[in-house]
Chain A
Amino acid sequence: MPDGIDVDYDGLIPNNVGLNADARVRKALETWHPGYIDWWQDRGPDGFQDALVYLRTAISVDAQGWAKFGFVRMPEYKWGILLAPAVEGRRIGFGRHKGDPAWQDVPGEYRAMLRRLLVIQGDTEPASVEQQRHLGATAPSLYDLRNLFQVNVEEGRHLWAMVYLLQKYFGADGREEAEELLRRRSGDQDTPRMLGAFNEATPDWLSFFMFTTFTDRDGKMQLEALAQSGFDPLSRTCRFMLTEEAHHMFVGESGVGRIIARTCQAMKAAGIEDAEDVGAVRRLGVIDLPLIQRKINLHFSLTLDLFGNEISTNAANAFNAGLKGRFREHTLTDDHQLLNDTYPVLRLVDGAVVKQDVPALSALNMRLRDDFVDDVRGGITRWNNVIAKSGIAYRLALPHVGFNRRIGEFSRARIDPLGNILDAESWQGRRDAFLPTAADGDFLHALMQPVRVPGAFAGWIAPPRIGIDNRPGDFEYVKIHE
């Protein structure tokens, strides 16, 4: 029996949950395993399956030194079941069961709600791998290629995490859902993934970095909320997933930052001060800042949709039931039940954006979204610092939360990035100033040429300041031909 910290690598499935002693779940996972490998080969990274990739693998789940780095062929990656260590005597921290011992089994009355939370969370994990499967062909460096694959294998592991919970706690129904997670396909007309943003293409590396900045940060917020769960196995699972998710956002934010740095450097070198002189900037082979702004507009708005309706019964139910808390619930100082509280929500009333106080329980999606916006704003500031340091007069900004929305209050209106409501005609007229155009896509597509020489980088992105695992600049992170 493992001690819950170290990972048991003896069996087919590495784990710290005592899988060897749990024949039923082990059998279910072993039955699921070949389908997963098939999925990975079929819908995971296109090519590179035999390459040796310098990946980190979890060997224990404590905060220090949980990962070890080494060269791995991706299909042989040690995907497994890793939960953060159990907290002795953990109690439910919020909702109507606040103060009760955390559940170690699924309470019957919350079966449907929990299952839905797990399936939706689970569906996003393989989806992003599918969305990113063609990016290997155009990686701007071996460093970036390795980061892509690290993100991919960890999203794969997050799928394992959700599948474990489904199979262990939801019987035949859970096994069926676990199979379905392998059958849905991002962007497929017949079997799409469940959430809209996960059916959008990730066609180029700027999109990838934006996705990992914004959409993976939504993932972080959702995991933070689920890490508070009174259903202890879910809480422990999500706490460990969060340690992995942090790297994904690092990849995104630093990736965009490196693109900005390279653009500013090239502009300065060529004596271009006007960021809006797009033609001149693009002739330098770098990505103009206004296009980066348009990509921010797109990915930010798509990601906000993932938070769902501002006023949500499901979110209220899940909180009251003690299944999904708020961002860092344990650090908040209110009564953690919210029965008499209100929360301000931006709403569209009679054609105007107004702030309304609504019962706090029903505004939990809005609250998590606000926390997300705060969180993501720090990244924008850091990007702007890069521009400011170069001396170029340009500032990136988050668009208004009502901009380009398909879900929630603002889906009924056309709102520009500054928050002004537009009629359909003005929207159409100015759309190309707000969102990436087909021409932008063509430009990026042409720019994306693979660079596979150790230590070399494509001309549109700066090298990182330090290597992964402190490796030197010319380290061969991916050995494509062994």
Chain B
Amino acid sequence: MDRIDFQTHPDRYRHWRIEVAGPVADLILDVDPGASIFPGCELKLNSYDLGVDIELADAVQRLRFEHPEVRCVVLRSGKEGVFCAGANIRMLGRASHGHKVNFCKFTNETRCAIEDASDASGQRYLAAVSGPCAGGGYELAACAERILLIDDRRSAVSLPEMPLLAVLPGTGGLTRLTDKRRVRRDLADLFCSLEEGVRGRRAVDWRLVDEVVPPSRWAATVAQRAAELAALSDRPDAARGIALTPLQRRFDGDGVQYRHVRVAIDRAARRATISVTGPADVPADLAGIHAAGAAFWPLAMARELDDAVLHLRFNEPTLGLIVLRSEGDPARVLAADTLLLAHAQDWLVREIRLLLKRTFKRLDLTSRSLIALIEPGSCFAGTLAELVFAADRAVMFAGARAGDNRPAAALHLSAMNFSACPMSNGLTRLQTRFLGEPDSVDRAHAAIGRALEAEDALALGLVTVAHDDLDWDDGVRIMLEERASFSPDALTAMEANLRFAGPETMETRIFGRLTAWQNWLFQRPNAVGEAGALKRYGSGLKPEFDPERV
């Protein structure tokens, strides 16, 4: 398969349309069956593959940044007689295990981004379900704040994965059923085994949808509910959006070069190094942020980092280690943070902060070993220090490097580290890190404004280990070589266990259960064996199941 690219633009969409009419936008799914990223795979009945989801992620992002006037987004189908048939099964049958896992994870992240838009940025989603809405189609609808279902005696919502495919509606479907829509567990059990789904009044009674509407009142009711949701929004009236301009990105050799982010690859060591460069300049005020638009460093950096992480996830599956580095002037990073903190109420600044939050979450959820190296010349300050706290281990250079006249490496904290970027467990990375020692969060907070060199950073528990000039090269080399020698599976499992301490949220449950249960099913012969349900789907042959319960 060609390199999977996460950059797209509405001009190039094959599967979605955005139609903006004042405060309400229609986000219309109209899948081109012949445009799967798997050649020869036909995306019938608005079923989707990763390519469809990449466009959805792009659309959700653009609506937020480019359309401050849009207060309600209506998810609907552009095809008569079907809303969405869910993930394309033949694609799943053909995809490698790794692709399936990454696909589901990305899909989930997009769905969480939809909920984030409703919850945090005042762009509220409404699902207008006309026609059958099955599996991933219903999972998508369930991301919306409200679901309207047309009551034409035919259209039903369903999660038929269990009876049809021997897998789960595991991309958030089951969890949203019980945790978000609070469907009773026995009814949820019944629902999930009904291939034909549930329609009409019963769908409302079971809380699977919020309202059923006859076709004659459909258009008017959807418009009315959209207007009602829009009225609840706090988005500004007369603001102008900013264009999410194409990323400046160059693939050279193995690496990728962006404006502020660089990915270098050492294939023999199975290692990618992501280096983030701090801002060259920072606007003076809010007007300057709006004028800079997509070039404003925190926004540009976040988009680039996000793209780099996705590239590594999908296109470089064998690079098990990601080394995180930075270079630049910490003062400028902190200056950008000051702007983000001072203008948190501004719609654009809010979107940028929310994007930073989601980008760091994406890093948390990346199943590679994350190692932060804090060296002289680095700028892990405030927002960028989140990279250090996202890492499985942080190694800091103690003192100055021989022959290098730059000052000793230092960490800098800002208020951004204490609220702006919660993890999916609802806590900041520092709160999660110091779950057993909450005082340490306070001590770190008190250190805002100080340049924290290795000794201080170690004392505050912000880094794992420090090496001086004498030990640095060997210390880092041996650590990385040792890490690369461990089982990639065991590392993925261990890291995912250790990263998300503390409380469960719907989001952690979604990702945790995807990892534990759906990915388990994706490996089991009952689903993916030669006689398994996914492999046999569409052939007319019934799957053969191993009766043993594990």
Contact = CB atoms under 8 A, between A and B. Distances in A.
Interface of A: 96, 112-113, 115-116, 180, 183-184, 189-192, 194, 309, 313, 315-317, 319-321, 338-339, 359, 361-362, 364
B500 to A, nearest CB: 38
Contact of B539 (A112, A116, A361): A361
B215 A189 contact: yes
B152 interface: yes
A150 to B, nearest CB: 29
A179 B35 CA distance: 41
Contacts of A338: 540
Contact of A320 (B154, B196, B214, B540): B540
Contacts of A192: 152-154, 215
A346 to B, nearest CB: 16
A116 B196 contact: yes
B152 A317 contact: no
A116 B542 CA distance: 18
A131 to B, nearest CB: 17
Closest 3 CB pairs of A and B: A316-B540, A361-B540, A112-B195
A115 B540 CA distance: 18
A319 B540 contact: yes
Contacts of B269: none
Given A112-B195, A112-B196, A115-B196, A191 B152 contact: yes
Contacts of A115: 196
A321 B539 CA distance: 12
Contact of A96 (B151, B153, B163, B542): B542
A219 B153 CA distance: 22
B541 interface: yes
B contact patch SS: loop
A313 B152 contact: no
B153 A180 contact: yes
B215 A183 contact: no
A311 B392 CA distance: 49
A239 B66 CA distance: 63
Nearest to A349: B34
The range of chain B's interface size is 10 to 19
Given A115-B196, A189-B215, A313-B537, A194 B154 contact: yes
A364 B196 CA distance: 22
Contacts of A339: 541
A338 B541 CA distance: 10
A116 B44 CA distance: 20
A362 B538 contact: yes
B216 interface: yes
B415 interface: no
A246 B216 CA distance: 38
Contacts of B538: 313, 316, 362
B542 A189 contact: no
A338 B540 CA distance: 10
9 contacts: A184-B153, A190-B214, A191-B152, A191-B214, A192-B153, A192-B154, A309-B44, A313-B537, A319-B540
Given A180-B153, A189-B216, A190-B215, A112 B194 contact: yes
Contacts of B539: 316, 359, 361-362
B195 A317 contact: no
Contacts of A315: 540
A182 to B, nearest CB: 11
Q: Identify the interface centre among A183, A191, A192, A315: most chain B CB within 10 Å of its CB.
A: A191
B402 to A, nearest CB: 65
Contacts of B152: 190-192
Contacts of A191: 152-153, 214
Contacts of A359: 539-540
A321 B542 contact: yes
Contacts of A112: 163, 194-196
A346 B352 CA distance: 52
A364 B540 CA distance: 10
A190 B150 CA distance: 9
